[in-house]
């Protein structure tokens, strides 16, 4: 079988491996769909987590069908459609397996709860493969503690930012404004349910947010925007300082984006406004809720997927995902 493996910075090969066989406590999943994540692109740029010279298989947003089970497995069966939670085995994140492969070995899935989640019958494999980024986004939403009727700004309309729109709608929030430089992605945010979008190349973000969410006068005499929560799914270094400067008293800021350099924070302004700054990583409890949400079909997730490629066209798929102006979730499918 073929496996996508990083060998050096910017160098990904489709290596030939033996089809894995399960140990007594393992299962083997025939991969049907796997999304390309921003972290995959970062790993490729760096040459892997351990640095150049240590080959690293990638791919962790997967859905597929169980193809083989170990002798001790009783709660899963061949032919069962499953979403794999990659976290327990670090699939595609530094572990020995990656999901850009025809088959993937899932080690000891019973050791951790919710490693294998059954795909509802009415959910396609491609939409099931969105569960992992949707869970990341929902965790960021949950850290913001949004309430129906509140006003939320989402910075970044990549797959996680788009997933945040889905998560906010699930929490009953309707006044969602998404900010991004890509008209392609902003159009998808509106299709998913964003009330409005702002392109910083065309509009002053603070002024536009003030017009959409209203303005208030802080006790220091400055005018601030009435947005209740800000979700940073973009990771631009100037962003957090600008949010701190424009936000209202008691606003919440949640950072899901990964920053590669330190960012200065005005602690006096944080104090004067009693700002809550929270970080969000992974999905401690969100995966099962996402699967339940998928089963309802309440939100059309199709706008999240911008491109589809077969695994044989993986280099083209990866090149497409590297273009943030003209792609959202790039989905790789397997025969």
Q: Residue 33 forms beta bridges with which residues?
A: 63, 333
Residue 52 has pLDDT above 70, yes or no: no
Q: What are the distances in angstroms from CA 150 to CA 176, 215, 299, 313? A: 9, 14, 20, 43
Amino acid 220: pLDDT = 81
Residue given tokens 């083997």 in the structure block? 28
Q: Closest Cα partner for 288 from 124, 120, 171?
A: 120
Amino acid 241: pLDDT = 97
Mean pLDDT of 210-218: 94
- What pLDDT digit, counting tens, does each position of 303-317 carry? 999 999 999 999 999
Among the residue ranges 52-56, 79-83, 190-194, 285-289, the one predicted with the least confidence is: 52-56
Amino acid 112: pLDDT = 81
- What pLDDT digit, counting tens, does each position of 85-132 carry? 999 999 999 999 999 999 999 999 988 878 999 999 999 999 999 999
Domains contained in the chain, CATH given: 2-130+301-333 (3.90.180.10), 134-279 (3.40.50.720)
Amino acid 44: pLDDT = 93
Residue 280 class from Cβ within 10 Å (0-12 exposed, 13-18 middle, 19+ buried)? buried
- In whole numbers, what is the pLDDT of the chain averaged over residues? 95
Residue 51 has pLDDT above 80, yes or no: no
C-beta separation of 163 from 134 below 8 A: yes
Amino acid 169: pLDDT = 97
| φ, ψ for residue 183, nearest 5 deg | -60, -35
Residue 209 has pLDDT above 90, yes or no: yes
DSSP code string of 197-239: EE-TTTS-HHHHHHHHH-EEE-TTS-EEE--SEEEE-S--TTH
- What pLDDT digit, counting tens, does each position of 13-45 carry? 999 999 999 999 999 999 999 999 999 999 999
- Helices 131-144 and 287-296: crossing angle in degrees, nearest 10, is 110
Read off the tokens for 312. Answer: 């044989």
Indicate the DSSP class of residue 181: S
**Where residue 298 falls among pLDDT bands split at 50, 70, 90?**
confident
- What pLDDT digit, counting tens, does each position of 224-266 carry? 999 999 999 999 999 999 999 999 999 999 999 999 899 999 9
Residue 50 has pLDDT above 70, yes or no: no
């Amino acid at each position: 079988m073929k496996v996508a493996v990083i060998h050096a910075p910017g160098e990904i090969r489709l290596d030939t491996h033996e089809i894995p066989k399960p140990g007594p406590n393992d299962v083997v999943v025939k991969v049907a769909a796997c999304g390309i994540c921003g972290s995959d692109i970062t790993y490729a740029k760096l040459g892997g987590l351990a640095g150049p010279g240590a080959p690293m298989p990638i791919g962790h947003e997967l859905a597929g069908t169980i193809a083989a089970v170990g002798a001790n497995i009783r709660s899963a069966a061949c032919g069962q459609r499953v979403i794999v939670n990659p976290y327990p085995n670090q699939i595609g994140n530094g572990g020995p397996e990656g999901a850009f492969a025809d088959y993937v070995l899932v080690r000891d899935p019973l050791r951790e709860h919710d490693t294998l989640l059954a795909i509802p019958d009415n959910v396609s494999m491609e939409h099931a493969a969105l569960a992992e980024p949707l869970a990341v986004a929902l965790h960021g939403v949950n850290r913001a503690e949004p309430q129906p009727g509140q006003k939320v700004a989402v910075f970044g309309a990549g797959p996680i930012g788009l997933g945040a729109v889905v998560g906010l709608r699930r929490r009953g929030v309707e006044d969602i404004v998404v900010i991004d430089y890509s008209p392609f992605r902003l159009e998808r945010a509106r299709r998913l349910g964003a009330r409005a979008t702002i392109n910083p190349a065309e509009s002053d973000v603070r002024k536009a947010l003030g017009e959409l969410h209203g303005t208030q006068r802080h006790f220091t005499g400055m005018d601030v925007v009435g947005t209740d929560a800000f979700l940073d799914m973009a990771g631009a270094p100037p962003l957090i300082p600008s949010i701190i400067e424009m936000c209202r008293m008691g606003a919440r800021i949640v950072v899901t984006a990964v920053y590669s350099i330190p960012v200065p924070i005005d602690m006096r302004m944080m104090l004067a406004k009693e700002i809550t700054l929270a970080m969000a990583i992974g999905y401690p409890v969100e995966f099962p809720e996402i699967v339940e949400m998928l089963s309802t079909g309440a939100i059309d997730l199709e706008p999240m997927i911008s491109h589809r490629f077969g695994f044989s066209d993986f280099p083209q798929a990866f090149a497409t995902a590297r273009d943030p102006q003209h792609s959202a979730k790039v989905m790789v499918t397997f025969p």
